[in-house]
Amino acid sequence: MKQARLESGLSLAQLGKGHVTAPAIYLIETGRTRPSLPTLEHIARRTGKPVEFFLAESGGSSDDTPSRIIELEALVADGRNAEAIALGRSLLDRSASAFRLGRIRLMLGQAYLATGELDRAAGLLEEARAHFEAISDGVMLAECLGALAALAISSHSNDAVPLAESALAACRRLKPVPAPTEARLLGVLASAYVAANDLDRAAATHQDAIAVGSSVFELRRLARIYGELAATYRAAGELDAGVRHGMRSLTLLEVLRDRAGLARAENNLALVLMGRKDFAGARLHLDRALELSSESDLEFGRSQILLSTSELAMHEGDVALAEDRAEEALRLAERLEDGATMAEAHVWLGRTADRRGEHERADREFEVAIRGFEALEMRERLLQAHGVFAEILERRGELNRAYGHMKQALRASRPELLRREQAEERINTA
């Protein structure tokens, strides 16, 4: 910037005239602050230089970063996350221009999110968010907020719904509103509603996403939304609708040959079929999901498929297989530091121990699971864990302990009740 100003014969005040002050120009030139894109455009007009003059790498015309960023976006879109991470890291190490770093960090953060490396994803996405806010890039800011909402969903944060709503609001402030982005963010918001157990709003928002994006959606995203809608209907107990949307998702993914997406869709459809007690059909889809997850970049999702096979084995009375699958899922989740799946695996290990009559072991497994869900503040899963353990204790005849866990389940489902009890306890103590 200083070079352009001197070549134009302008003073600091003359360069910023009508837009920014001379001290602000000085801070930018000395690297103490970063200019917004409108400021750069003003300076470009004043100096007669193209905006890219201020953003290019020192290597000049030999810089291939733009084409490599396009390649990075394609890898993320295709779910080839290991390759995307390698390329994204190399682009960051090469010190790409400031103008491009935001997009690189966003893509790399999304790749880490897809592989379950949530801490790495968080840092990159927050940096990308700050970048897009600084240059007033509304489209990319909306995309980044959507990615942060997806991260909040994966980490079971209460911020998921507010972030998704902020992303959608940022998108809808754009003129014109980009329909693909709006549809994608509606899908993220629907997933946040599912995580918050607000299934009615989730189903309605999924339908809005399909309606908005029907004319512009690429098949992969439409397939994903059908899959998520199938899971939503399953959770709501509407199994016929779940099967219908699950099959739509599978059909699109088969056309696309998206093996990672197919593995997830096969698993979701198997869960719906288990709900309908079609265990033979569920077995076919789970076998396919396991095969696909072993071939594709889906290590993070494979643990969920393993837990689904554990559930199916329990339905079929094969306790040994159920235990084996749950232990395999636990080992994988521990390696990936996936706390939610670890807790879920302990639930299934508790169930298998109960079937074997190993009461002490069952108690230990459920205690570990409950502590895990409590630490993650996963209220819905905590409620279910208490409920399942209460049923087991009731069958054993341990009615007092069963009542205690039923009471804990009630507290998990009604946090305001717990807060009231705690307040009353403090008053009585005082």
Boundary of a domain, candidates 55, 73, 91 = 55
Q: Are 142 and 128 in contact (CB under 8 A)?
A: no
C-alpha distances (whole Å) from 126 to each of 85, 95, 131 are 17, 18, 9
Q: Are 11 and 22 in contact (CB under 8 A)?
A: yes
**Number of helices and strands in the chain (H, E):** 24, 0
Query: Is 352 domain-assigned?
Result: yes
pLDDT of 371 reads: 92
pLDDT of 297 strictly over 60: no
- For the ranges 124-128, 226-230, 282-286, the lowest mean pLDDT is seen at 226-230
334-350 tens-digit pLDDT: 988 888 899 999 999 99
Helices assigned H by DSSP within 94-218: 98-114, 118-134, 138-154, 160-172, 179-195, 199-213
Report d(CA 266, CA 290) in Å as an integer. Answer: 9
336 and 426 assigned to the same domain: yes
pLDDT of 313 strictly over 90: yes
Report d(CA 79, CA 311) in Å as an integer. Answer: 27
Q: Which residue has the higher pLDDT, 330 or 77?
A: 330
Report d(CA 37, CA 132) in Å as an integer. Answer: 10
Number of structural domains found in the chain: 3
- For the ranges 90-99, 124-133, 159-168, 211-220, the lowest mean pLDDT is seen at 211-220
pLDDT band for position 374 (50/70/90)?
Answer: confident
Query: Is 177 domain-assigned?
Result: yes
Boundary of a domain, candidates 189, 217, 245 = 217
51 and 143 assigned to the same domain: no
Query: Is 93 domain-assigned?
Result: no
Query: Is 337 domain-assigned?
Result: yes
- For the ranges 258-267, 329-338, 357-366, the lowest mean pLDDT is seen at 258-267
Report d(CA 127, CA 15) in Å as an integer. Answer: 29
Query: Is 125 domain-assigned?
Result: no
Query: Is 303 domain-assigned?
Result: no
- Provide DSSP, 153-166: HHTT-TTHHHHHHH
Query: Is 19 domain-assigned?
Result: yes
For residue 368, the enclosing domain spans 332-430
Boundary of a domain, candidates 217, 247, 274 = 217
196-205 tens-digit pLDDT: 878 788 878 8
Report d(CA 323, CA 407) in Å as an integer. Answer: 28
Distance of CA 33 to the CA centre of its chain: 32
Say which CATH number the domain at 425 has: 1.25.40
388-423 tens-digit pLDDT: 999 999 999 998 888 888 887 776 555 554 445 445
pLDDT band for position 61 (50/70/90)?
Answer: very low
Query: Is 198 domain-assigned?
Result: yes
